[in-house]
Structure 1
Amino acid sequence: MNPPFRARTALGLSASSLAVLLAAAAPAHAGISYTLDRAAATPGTTVRVQAVYFNDGSAGARWQPPGQLILQWRAPNGQIIRTPAQADTDARDLNIPVNNFARMSWSAVVPAQARGLQAVSIEGEPALMALDTGAGGAPLVASSPATVPVVDPTTGQPLPAPEVVAAGASPTAGPAPTQVASTVTPADPNRLSGVLAGLSEYQPMYFDIRTRDRTTARFQVSFKYRLFTPDSNNPSFWDKLYLGYTQTSLWDLQGDSVPFIDTTFNPSLFWLNDNVWTSQSQNWRAGLQAGVEHSSNGKAGDDSRSVNDAFIQPSINYRFDGGSTLSFSPRIKGYFAVADENSNYRDYAGNVDWNLRWAQDNGLIATAMYRQGASSRRTTQLDLAWPLQRTWLNMNGYIHLQYFNGYGETLLGYDQRHRSQIGIGFSLVQ
């Protein structure tokens, strides 16, 4: 262990400058990177420590983040203040496939004694995070070892020792911030710690080429955004509210001027909880998604197509001991405000999308979708994906294979039965 660093250092840095310096020392420890959800916060307000665990190994990983972190702050006189940060969720046993990531966050109150630009450290982790409290005082980056108890950040009163011990920290002392920082290794710039908080993947994202009848490409982009940051002190229904956006296009690569045949624009608003219930064995897990969505192709006149629906999508997932997960998630839809140009849309799309997914850790991902309209109008889509890191290319993403047969390959042609198509290409998310 390095000797204690007892000289307090005051640096004339802006919050953004310190953030850059600390980001250069952000941890690559165990594939976990830590950030704060904002650059500035006043004493007494709540901030969140956000962690991203990225599994870039050769096998699936299991992450069990703690329910509580102990943070170190500095008072204007150089005294260390130790306060707890509580996990925002009880679901803290996470299985992470290769080349995938998981997020976790903890909520903490900025201590009333914190002043100026802070370099906040996490006890037991090589992490330093910049926060400007906007309360004056010299910016403090390092201090002497902690020989003080963990306190309530609002009252300054010591917290019960059993709670602190249960969090894996010492009730009376912690490592000095400089001792923690001395173990920091440079962060991989390709880590996902810089991803905008709240933004995440939603539906699959892929680009496939098909050659039956003529050469076409079908591709899809999709993401979702969490509207509210969870508050561990006052969790609410709204914490799991998202905006989603998916866009699917069919592109004629063989036609004159290479036109787009049709594009479906699909914004949505929904509530999502992937972990409504988990079995004691951790093998079974149930989730729920419900909301409203709009689909249209952005065209006018006879080619205009538009439909709205409210949906509910329960899911049941089983985790096999061998490292794969089977998921069943039917999407049940009720239509409203359907455009006159496609008033019989329900007859072709039906009211339920039956979805089945099987995913191996660092291996094959297979999904199947089946829908049944009126008068035996059936649609089937099968997708297979294999990680490119397990090929000679050694790339991120997946090689993607898609089979489609039925109605609704495009919104424009929702009532036309398409011949079976097989596409092959690349996918980012499956």
Structure 2
Amino acid sequence: MYLKYILACVVLLTIKANSQIVEDKKNFRAADSLLKEHSFSVHKDNYFLTGIPLDEDITRNTADVKYQVSFKLRLNSKPLWGGFFPYLMYTQKAFWDIYANSKPFSEINFNPGVAIVRPFYLKGGRLTYGTISLEHESNGRDSIYSRTWNMLAFSLKSQVSPRWTVGLRGWIPLVDKEDNPGLTKYVGYGEASATYQIQPGRWSADVLFRKGSGLINYGSLQTQLNWRPYKDENYYLTLQWFVGYTESLIDYQEHKSMIRLGFTIKPENMGIF
């Protein structure tokens, strides 16, 4: 009789130990998805694109170059309390009137921030990153040309299938309403993103939708098609279309529709958000 109880206890403990080992392996693999990157790595897309407007006349002053530089730095190779990894982030997006006579920069937006990232698996083994970030975005100008805001953001990004990666991100905007009247209506309170691998390793498509605070007004949609010429090189030929508001901070109240073509360097993995 006692032998049956002992055997039952052994079986239960074995099952529990095995499940704990599986869970530990899952946690290790999720964290390893961050650790296999270099501590200094690409954050958002780095690109250099040139294009024309679709909603106004094409002139030397309306065609432009748009480029973005974005990187992140993982501060520790071991997680903090709760399994979070700390990061510093920086993104700079510029609009260059390269076809105008004096070739001025019409706008440069600066976006530094700090974040903590928790990698984990959803049901079905779907790798997911949960991120909390505190960010600042401004154009570095003063007087009536100053545009600045801060956000406390929360995001989830998940690889839901071998071809699909989706993300949801919401934020609490902190805006100086005297200098930037109505900015919150245009930047909104969240965004959704998706990437589809049309032909893995070669062709992919990205969609980024930002919702303004109005019922049907404001917000923006950015879509792009990416082609990777060489599988061993991490750069793409990109066709990008942007329509909506807040592509740049200086003109956040103006509706834009631009199509651009150029080169993009993408994060090696799915990116933290």
TM-score, with length taken from structure 1: 0.50
2 CA distance for matches of 1:217 and 1:288?
33
For the structure 1 residues 93 and 288, does the alpha-carbon distance in structure 2 shift closer, same or farther, using more than 3 Å as the test? closer
State the 1:319 CA deviation: 2.3
2 CA distance for matches of 1:342 and 1:94?
42
Give the greater-gyration-radius structure (CA): 1
Note if 1:276 corresponds to 2:214: no
Greater per-residue helix proportion = 2
Note if 1:368 corresponds to 2:207: yes
User: Of 51, 76, 94, which residue of structure 2 is paired with 1:249?
Assistant: 94
Alignment of 1:384-399 (within 5 A): 384-389=225-230, 396-399=234-237
Question: Is the contact between residue 305 and residue 339 of structure 1 (CA under 8 Å) also seen in structure 2?
Answer: no
One-letter code aligned to 2:120? V
2 CA distance for matches of 1:287 and 1:398?
24
2 CA distance for matches of 1:424 and 1:228?
37
User: Of 200, 207, 223, which residue of structure 2 is paired with 1:382?
Assistant: 223
User: Of 407, 414, 418, which residue of structure 1 is paired with 2:245?
Assistant: 407
State the 1:337 CA deviation: 4.3
User: Of 339, 357, 366, which residue of structure 1 is paired with 2:195?
Assistant: 357
Alignment of 1:113-128 (within 5 A): none
Question: Is the contact between residue 388 and residue 396 of structure 1 (CA under 8 Å) also seen in structure 2?
Answer: no
2 CA distance for matches of 1:254 and 1:236?
51
State the 1:271 CA deviation: 0.9
State the 1:270 CA deviation: 0.8
The CA deviation string for residues 284-310 of structure 1, in whole angstroms up to 9 with x for no partner, is 233211111000000111101000011
2 CA distance for matches of 1:410 and 1:93?
35
The CA deviation string for residues 132-184 of structure 1, in whole angstroms up to 9 with x for no partner, is xxxxxxxxxxxxxxxxxxxxxxxxxxxxxxxxxxxxxxxxxxxxxxxxxxxxx
Residue equivalent to 1:299? 141
1 CA distance for matches of 2:106 and 2:176?
22
Question: Is the contact between residue 269 and residue 293 of structure 1 (CA under 8 Å) also seen in structure 2?
Answer: yes
Note if 1:217 corresponds to 2:65: yes
SS in 2 for 1:330: strand
For the structure 1 residues 93 and 243, does the alpha-carbon distance in structure 2 shift closer, same or farther, using more than 3 Å as the test? closer
| Structure 2 segments unaligned to the other structure (5+ residues) | 1-20, 268-273
For the structure 1 residues 396 and 377, does the alpha-carbon distance in structure 2 shift closer, same or farther, using more than 3 Å as the test? closer
1 CA distance for matches of 2:234 and 2:171?
35
2 CA distance for matches of 1:198 and 1:93?
13
Note if 1:331 corresponds to 2:172: no
Residue equivalent to 1:176? none
Higher relative contact order (CA 8 A, sep 6+): 2
One-letter code aligned to 2:229? L
User: Of 48, 56, 60, which residue of structure 2 is paired with 1:207?
Assistant: 48
Residue equivalent to 1:425? 262
Residue equivalent to 2:11? none
Question: Is the contact between residue 31 and residue 120 of structure 2 (CA under 8 Å) also seen in structure 1?
Answer: no
One-letter code aligned to 1:227? L
Q: How many residues align?
A: 235
User: Of 258, 264, 268, which residue of structure 1 is paired with 2:103?
Assistant: 258
For the structure 1 residues 315 and 372, does the alpha-carbon distance in structure 2 shift closer, same or farther, using more than 3 Å as the test? same
Q: Over the residues paired in the alignment, what is the CA RMSD in angstroms?
A: 2.8
Question: Is the contact between residue 308 and residue 338 of structure 1 (CA under 8 Å) also seen in structure 2?
Answer: no
